[in-house]
């Protein structure tokens, strides 16, 4: 393997954001409330007490933010649309002012030579649908999501040619519905059984499949369609045949993998998921034709990669055991982000070897929070973030060097923003956001990433 860490010509370097985390303007120009508006308004749900009411005020500052992207040398940008900005009631009358904003944003990106990669849903579903029928608890949500996709693609599809249906099903289903306690993410709904939780996962995947069909039917020009998932990566403890096989078994069994990536890419729930959930009485209800709908042909698959788990061979009924991460194991500045750069190699490999996916792969998110503090020189010296990104990109290079079809990388994230239930207490951006003035200040990592882009290699 070359040690210059040079990436292939034409590799797509980008950054990623999400609408609710940056846009603000939550009550302007006809936008309807989302589940995250309501969730974050409840005392105690967001660590620092904020909502996305203002966030980074990107709604008013997008032109300067796009210029900031261009200054980095970016040619690709992953963004999301706010469903309730376009359809305030989730269905029915289209809010033209909402579409006008996205028209202006897309046009601005293209004017600066930046290709938009648009995610239709990044967790912020219209509150009206939660109020009407319980959001993802209802099959109707899948149909309404596909109708929303049709509206968005008809409006923007003459210029947008890269579409992603939804982001991280795990987070707005499994972590958004709880049994016996309040879940950590919106809509923050308590349900009566684990089967009901898994039913929301199934409905979301059904919505994905219907949306793929809707995109292909509505697009006025050829486009590429993807699903984005934060599959949990199983990393073999040793690169021996036994542990590699064990990691493959673990991959289909960890958290939601068997109910999200497996149905999307293979047309069925994973064997271990079916076995476990059937024994517990937790398998979701599946209607005739559902799995065929979910299993739509995809041009690309987006992987959000932050961390993972180690697995090894075991002489038990499962054939593997998941290893507990030791307390002293290195972490970034948040409890769940164990430093595991090998995930950038193993997850693309597992998507091919375990799910048989042969299309393009994009790393649609990768980054870390750091305790960024302004120096007296008004700088952010985030060497910890640079160390993290450099280590992960070297493993990504290994995967490309071995022939895995990885076409692009979107760093999470462009600027510090509303970090969901953590509020503004966690900073993932490569630009520092001074929230009281909305000033954006490039961190050392922004300058480092600009050089990565310029040289097309890990520097």
**CA-CA distance, 292 to 418, in Å (whole number)?**
37
Asked if 168 is an active-site residue, the reply is yes
Question: Which residue in 130, 322, 354, 365 is the catalytic one?
Answer: 365
Q: What is the DSSP letter of 172?
A: H
Residue found by looking up tokens 């289903």 in the block: 173
Q: Which of 154, 136, 150 is nearest to 204 (CA)?
A: 136
Question: Which residue in 130, 168, 322, 354 is the catalytic one?
Answer: 168
Beta strands in 112-263 (DSSP E): 115-121, 162-167, 177-179, 189-191, 224-229, 233-236
Largest CA distance in the chain: 64
Asked if 381 is an active-site residue, the reply is no
- Residue 137's contacts (CB-CB under 8 Å, 6 or more residues apart) are 177, 189, 191, 196, 199, 200, 203
The tokens for 69 are 């992207």
Q: What is the DSSP letter of 178?
A: E
**CA-CA distance, 263 to 257, in Å (whole number)?**
9
The tokens for 300 are 């690309």
Helix, coil or strand: residue 411? strand
Q: What is the DSSP letter of 426?
A: -
Query: Known catalytic residues?
Result: 168, 365
């Amino acid at each position: 393997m070359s040690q210059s860490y040079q990436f292939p010509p034409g590799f797509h370097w980008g950054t990623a954001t999400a609408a609710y985390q940056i846009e603000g303007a939550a009550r302007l120009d006809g936008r309807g409330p989302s589940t995250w508006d309501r969730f974050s308004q409840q005392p105690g749900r967001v660590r620092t007490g904020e909502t996305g009411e203002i966030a980074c005020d990107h709604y008013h500052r997008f032109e300067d933010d796009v210029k900031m992207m261009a200054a980095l040398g970016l040619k690709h940008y992953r963004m999301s649309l706010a469903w309730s900005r376009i359809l305030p009631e989730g269905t029915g009358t289209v809010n033209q002012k909402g579409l006008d904003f996205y028209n202006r944003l897309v046009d601005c990106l293209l004017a600066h030579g930046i290709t938009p990669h648009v995610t239709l849903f990044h967790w912020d579903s219209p509150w009206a649908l939660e109020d009407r029928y319980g959001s993802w608890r209802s099959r109707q949500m899948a149909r309404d999501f596909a109708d929303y996709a049709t509206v968005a693609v008809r409006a923007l599809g003459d210029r947008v040619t890269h579409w992603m249906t939804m982001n991280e099903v795990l987070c707005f289903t499994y972590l958004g519905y709880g049994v016996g306690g309040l879940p950590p993410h919106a809509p923050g709904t308590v349900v009566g059984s684990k089967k009901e939780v898994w039913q929301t996962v199934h409905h979301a995947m059904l919505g994905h499949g219907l949306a793929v069909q809707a995109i292909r039917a509505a697009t006025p020009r050829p486009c590429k369609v993807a699903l984005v998932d934060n599959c949990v990566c199983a990393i073999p403890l040793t690169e021996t045949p036994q542990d590699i096989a064990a990691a493959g078994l673990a991959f289909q069994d960890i958290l939601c993998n068997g109910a999200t990536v497996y149905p999307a890419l293979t047309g069925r729930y994973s064997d271990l998921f079916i076995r476990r959930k059937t024994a517990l009485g937790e398998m979701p209800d599946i209607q005739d034709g559902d799995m065929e709908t979910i299993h739509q042909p995809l041009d690309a698959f987006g992987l959000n990669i932050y961390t993972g788990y180690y697995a090894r061979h075991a002489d038990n009924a499962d054939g593997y055991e998941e290893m507990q991460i030791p307390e002293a194991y290195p972490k970034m500045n948040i409890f769940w982000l164990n430093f595991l750069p090998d995930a950038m190699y193993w997850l693309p490999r597992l998507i091919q070897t375990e799910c048989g996916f042969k299309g393009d792969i994009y790393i649609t998110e990768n980054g870390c929070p750091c305790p960024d503090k302004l120096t007296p020189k008004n700088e952010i010296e985030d060497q910890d973030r640079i160390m993290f990104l450099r280590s992960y990109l070297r493993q990504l290079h290994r995967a490309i060097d071995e022939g895995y079809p990885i076409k692009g990388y979107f760093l999470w994230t462009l600027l510090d923003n509303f970090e969901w239930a953590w509020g503004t207490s966690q900073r993932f951006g490569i630009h520092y956001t001074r929230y009281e003035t909305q000033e954006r200040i490039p961190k050392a990592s922004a300058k480092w990433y600009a050089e990565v882009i310029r040289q097309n290699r890990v520097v």
